[in-house]
Amino acid sequence: MTEETPQQVSASTSKAEQIAQPGISQDAATDLPALSAVCAELYSRLEALLQKDFEAATMRQVQARAKDSLAIISDALKRYSLDELSLSYNGGKDCLVLLILYLAALHIHFQHSIPSQSNGLSITPESSHNSTVPPPQGAFTATSSASPSSQNWPSSLQSIYIVPPHPFPQVDDFVTRTSQTYHLSLRRISISPRKPRAPPTDPSNSLPTSTSPSTSAADSTSSIQLPNPFPPAPSSQNLPSSSTSSPNNHNPQQHQHHSEDTSSMPSCFATYLSSLPSIKAIFVGTRRTDPHGSSLSPFDPTDGKWPPFMRIHPVLEWRYREIWAFLRELEVDYCALYDEGYTSLGGTDDTVRNPALRVRRGDVTGEDGGNGGEDEREARSRSRSEDVYRPAYELLEDEEERLGRDGKR
């Protein structure tokens, strides 16, 4: 019998079945790379980015941002054990950049590395060359003298997904798939909807609200179809059972689809921390231009109504265009909604395509939207319903990123 590809398996699996069987393909379970291999692959891509001599100012800035972020993550790995760390992950572009950097930093953390005389970073002894990457303030170095043996690696990484009251199915599916690809022991906690809220007005009148049972995982990923070197996720039968809260013993599926309804973001985190009291710090993908991001620092303890933990912000200073330049240079898969004109993802009740990315039908086809004696107003309305949207990575200004949130047009 011919072995099915991940896309074929997903296409024949309903969404409900994917939730019940997050591994998707048990036959391909043994092909999933270990967390250490995933981290090594991402580190290799990141190292290539850092070594490259870019002419574009944006890419040079991306290199500087990445080094600064790695320094923050390295500092966090010195302050806290993996038992004490978690990651807030919602499948968005900022969290995805944070996740990739976290995994690359873990590769450095678990390898033998010897600083060179030029104050750079020597890659692992197993490497076939001796290139170096200048570290920010000497922090971009290995923080563990442990053997690179996979026995020292956790099987998964603690993480939390705060689900909005009305999530996009495409986002939910993307979180499910990537949390397995990247070995996240993901706990889902849903914010309870307070009251019914009418969906925002989408300029294209085509806001996606659901996926059909036959929708494949390939349909909920980037339409660019960037190469993904990682095979499908394992079934829970092939993973060690969980007996403690230690990441070394975590089953990636243990909390994968366990949902709880709570009334607010702070209460969601309180619920999460009460179930995992060892956690002291959580990586968060907030950027400076986000709401409430202007006064943050890389390490910020919670206050007020929040449960006590340290918030760590490695991508705080990244700009919008730098986020996309990073993801596209590393050829990392991202949620397909970004290719449909969405630039900031919330829920279906507060998110529409970004009007700054709208391309009028006439601009695409050269038509003027009119049709002889047809009423001009009707022609404009018909033309508008057929507008298309450029992908999110073509937006350049940070100030325009959230124009599609809360129904703004």
**Terminal Cα-to-Cα distance of the chain (whole angstroms):** 52
Helix (H) or strand (E) holding 198: none
The average pLDDT across 6-11 equals: 36
| Whole-number pLDDT of residue 292 | 85
| Whole-number pLDDT of residue 1 | 41
Q: What value does the mean pLDDT of the chain take?
A: 73
Tens of pLDDT along 126-135?
333 333 333 3
| Whole-number pLDDT of residue 384 | 55
Place of tokens 């990073």: 326
| Whole-number pLDDT of residue 193 | 76
355 contacts: CB under 8 Å, gap ≥ 6: 203, 403, 404, 408, 409
Q: Contact 281/310 with Cβ under 8 angstroms?
A: yes
Q: Which amino acid is at 177?
A: R
Q: How far is CA 388 from the centre of its chain?
A: 25
Phi, psi of 170 (to 5 degrees): -65, -40
Phi, psi of 154 (to 5 degrees): -70, 160
Task: Choose between 213 and 363: higher pLDDT.
Answer: 363
Alpha-carbon gap, residue 157 to 251, rounded angstroms:
10
Token pair of 168 as six digits: 């996009």
With CA atoms as reference, report the closest residue to 85 among 317, 239, 309: 309
The CA distances from residue 106 to 82, 227, 309, in Å, are 10, 23, 21
Task: Choose between 82 and 242: higher pLDDT.
Answer: 82
Q: If DSSP codes are grouped into helix, strand and coil, which group holds residue 4? A: coil
Tens of pLDDT along 245-302?
344 444 444 444 444 547 789 999 999 999 999 999 999 999 999 888 889 999 999 9
Alpha-carbon gap, residue 184 to 244, rounded angstroms:
16
Token pair of 386 as six digits: 């057929």
Q: Which amino acid is at 91?
A: G
Tens of pLDDT along 47-61?
999 999 999 999 999
| Pairing of the two strands 310-312 and 299-301 | antiparallel
Per-residue pLDDT band for 111 (boundaries 50, 70, 90) equals: confident
pTM of the predicted structure, to 2 decimals:
0.69
| Whole-number pLDDT of residue 383 | 52
Q: How far is CA 216 from the centre of its chain?
A: 19
